[in-house]
Structure 1
């Protein structure tokens, strides 16, 4: 299910929108982030982390590939992955993310074409633009098919 495009004009709006998304996520959710360098993927992840209430700081895991941020509020941990340097699904699979995916919220930056096989239930977020970020969100899987989940995601159509 694809949702209307949202335009976020600042890094603060991107973080705030991410925080709202983070409050909707639960253990087992996969978020696949797509966008060019500087599109706001890590900024969005910082907001999601705030919404989840996990320990920070949230920085791009480009050189360590994956970081785990435990919850500070009794919720799921955040597993933050940067797939930019990975050569394909086999290398992503070598990270054994499926071992923690049911217990965590997993975010994969640069994950389009690689991470979709990690979970049936996923949210794909695409960020485009330089000064303003144009964000599209597509939710897939049974988790997002009921009316309540659709209403929650539809609420993200409003800019913070």
Structure 2
């Protein structure tokens, strides 16, 4: 199980950096990418993609927040996320990645469309899921890779590959 979240504020000249972190054990790295399968109008003026783990479900990590009636996509149909990597516990039952897409209409926080997908972590490989929100169809791909959990893991991986 992860430890309790720790919070820290670091003041600077122009702003304050707020940092939240959690110590987790036996984790995998989940690299998230989103591709538009079918274009359509985003059903609202604001959108939000988030991710969290099942053990810390209330600590959603924002991957992308945007405004406008269309999704921000590049020429190949991929959505450029501001953040795309999150750590997920490998042990069950708490080891789950929760991906969420929200569409908010105007300034009304009560008028929200939300789609959520749950991904079960793997040591390596990819998992793909399709989601539909409004008239848009998206493909969410999670690429899994095992994280070394100690100095021994780093040393043995280094000897194996070099």
TM range (shorter): under 0.3
Q: Which has the larger radius of gyration?
A: 2
More helix by share: 1
More strand by share: 2
What's the TM-score, normalizing by structure 1?
0.27
